[in-house]
Amino acid sequence: MGYIVPYLGIDLGTSNTQIYVRRKGIVIDEPSILVADRSAKRTIRAIGDEARALLGRTTGESVAVRPLADGLIHDFDMTEEMLRFFVRKAIGASRLFKPRAVMTVPSRITPVERRVLKKVAVSAGIWENQLNLVEKPFAAAVGCGLPVFDPVGSMVVDIGGGSTEVAVISLGGIVAGKTIRIGGVKMDEAIIGHIKRTHNIQIGDRTAEEMKISLGSALPLKTERRALVKGRDMITNLPQTAELSSTEVFESLRAPCQAILSAIQDVLSRTPPELAGDVMRSGIHLTGGGSQLLGLDQYIASEFKIPVLLAKDPLNCAALGVGHLAENFEQLHRIGRSSFLREENEE
Ligand SMILES: Nc1ncnc2c1ncn2[C@@H]1O[C@H](COP(=O)(O)OP(=O)(O)OP(=O)(O)O)[C@@H](O)[C@H]1O
Ligand SMILES: [Mg+2]
């Protein structure tokens, strides 16, 4: 057996974490959740898939922790524990050397937030001098095969759990971009708020997400759908069921969908004309789990009269992107060349 240093592509997401191992592909794809004791020591009971299976079924002593929020680290210790667990699971027996990695980071984060993300990766076992950070929308664009190093403009809209990142990419860098803290989680919260207000029922996060996926849409549906939702009656505190229509869900999702639209509009308005012309020709590329909301592509296309293309594998684009860079690490030095343009075009 040769001494091969593992090379990883890590996409640390608010909802899901994925790890790509060079020459193997995506080997870890698990929710970014832990179940820990409520006590001061916070002993960890389960991480990732195992923790998800326990969700809503934890006893009084343990609690589910989502250590990231809005794409950023919210709970450092828990993020570190989770990432270390995933990294070890990804590299398995080959623990002789610390792995190298390319990891996604939200774009336009402060130097302090960047340092925190670096520190978490190093504490989780990544080789410090061999850690490369790549902005999420750039990774997503690489993952969906866009010509990121060419002198043409490509637009990607990555709608994750915690945030939506809009970016126009050219010559290996982000020319114009915007991040909003609105993604799949805010959509779920909008549904929870609606059911609370109109049906007096408190529903759980998972139920809300299921309703978003089964009934939700960004455009009104031609034929209305209905489903039963289970929750807790806010007055009696007893289990209660209500009937929910697709129209109600559509209405609740209007605000987050409009926010995504405004972010795209803002970036388009700051894109240099030549590159905007490229975007009009090649279209807007949607990535991230939230981009799968029914009709979101048509909703954006009809607003801007630009073709909108939903990526083939939206949940995996960013991980495939950092994975591609781990496979072709000689490309890493080409990233960021056009960052001077960014200074010019961003407020
Ligand atoms: N079919 C679907 N329709 C609408 N939303 C969906 C669908 N499938 C998944 N989602 C949503 O996608 C989100 C997760 O997407 P993703 O894994 O890309 O996020 P993330 O990378 O973890 O988050 P971030 O990049 O913001 O840190 C969740 O909010 C989930 O509810
Ligand atoms: Mg993501």
pLDDT above 80: residue 338: no
Please tell me the class of the 184-252 domain: alpha beta
Would you say the CB of residue 259 lies under 6 angstroms from ligand 1?
Answer: no
**Mind listing the pLDDT tens digit for each residue in 116-161?**
999 999 999 999 999 999 999 999 999 999 999 999 999 999 999 9
What is the reported pLDDT for 108? 81
Find out whether 136 and 155 touch, Cβ atoms under 8 Å: no
Q: What percent of the chain has pLDDT over 70?
A: 95
Measure the CA angle with vertex 298, ends 297 and 303; round to 5°.
Answer: 105
pLDDT above 60: residue 214: yes
Give me ligand 2 centre to Cα 29, in Å: 12
**Mind listing the pLDDT tens digit for each residue in 234-277?**
999 999 999 999 999 999 999 999 999 999 999 999 999 999 99
Give the pLDDT band of residue 345 (cuts 50, 70, 90): very low
Strands 239-245 and 226-233: antiparallel
> What would you report as the CA-atom Rg of the chain, rounded to the nearest whole angstrom?
21
Identical topology for domains 7-135 and 137-182+259-323+335-345: yes
Q: Give the residue extent of every domain in the chain.
A: 7-135, 137-182+259-323+335-345, 184-252
Residue of 16, 163, 211 to test ligand 1 pocket, by largest number of atoms within 8 Å of CB: 16
pLDDT above 70: residue 343: no
For residues 83 and 79, give the distance between their C-alpha atoms in angstroms, rounded to a whole number: 6
Please tell me the class of the 137-182+259-323+335-345 domain: alpha beta
For residues 165 and 334, give the distance between their C-alpha atoms in angstroms, rounded to a whole number: 21
Question: Can you list the positions of beta strands (E) in 171-225?
Answer: 173-180, 201-202
Collapse the DSSP code of 152 into the 3-class scheme (helix H, G, I; strand E, B; otherwise coil) and give the result: coil
Give the pLDDT band of residue 3 (cuts 50, 70, 90): low
Please tell me the class of the 7-135 domain: alpha beta
Would you say the CB of residue 293 lies under 6 angstroms from ligand 1?
Answer: yes
**Mind listing the pLDDT tens digit for each residue in 284-299?**
999 999 999 999 999 9
Query: In whole numbers, what is the pLDDT of the chain averaged over residues?
Result: 93
